[in-house]
Amino acid sequence: MSNEASLTRERTEQLAYRLWQEAGCPDGQSDQIWLQAQALIAAEEAQRARERADASPTAVAPPVLAPPILAAPARPPAPPARGWRAEASRRFVAWWVYPSKPGSS
């Protein structure tokens, strides 16, 4: 018999004896009193289980459906372009952007 079962049996014995004494020590009703004690203990344990389930954080917290969407990491700046194409591009931008275009006067 497991430890928990022996504790439950001991509690049932004590409660049944107390109920038997409160009923005036009647003869021939030991089985009925024993069943009454078992029912009271089972109801008490069920109530404790409901209280534990209500107090548990998992019963209160809403379910998580998906992880939160995080911002994409910032890209590092591109290194400056080099070579003849980069130089040509810089000259074209300078010619197009400035009001008095170089070389057009």
Q: Per-residue pLDDT tens for 71-98?
A: 777 888 777 778 888 888 878 777 766 6
Q: What is the pLDDT of residue 105?
A: 53
Confidence grade of residue 6 (pLDDT, cut at 50, 70, 90) = confident
39, part of any domain? yes
13, part of any domain? yes
Decide: pTM greater than 0.85. Answer: no
Q: Tell me the C-alpha to C-alpha distance, in Å, between residue 54 and each of 48, 64, 102.
A: 10, 19, 79
68, part of any domain? no
Residue 77 corresponds to which tokens in the numbers above? 């700046």
Burial of 79 (0-12, 13-18, 19+ CB in 10 A): exposed
36, part of any domain? yes
Residue 25 structural domain: 3-60
Q: Tell me the C-alpha to C-alpha distance, in Å, between residue 24 and each of 10, 19, 58.
A: 21, 9, 47
Q: How many domains does the chain have?
A: 1
46, part of any domain? yes
Q: Using CA of residue 19, residue 25, residue 31, residue 32, what is the dihedral sign?
A: negative
Q: What is the pLDDT of residue 51?
A: 87
9, part of any domain? yes
105, part of any domain? no
Nearest CA to 37 out of 79, 9, 78 is that of 9
91, part of any domain? no
Q: What is the pLDDT of residue 61?
A: 63
Most confident range (mean pLDDT) of 38-42, 50-54, 92-96 is: 38-42
Residue 14 corresponds to which tokens in the numbers above? 């004590």
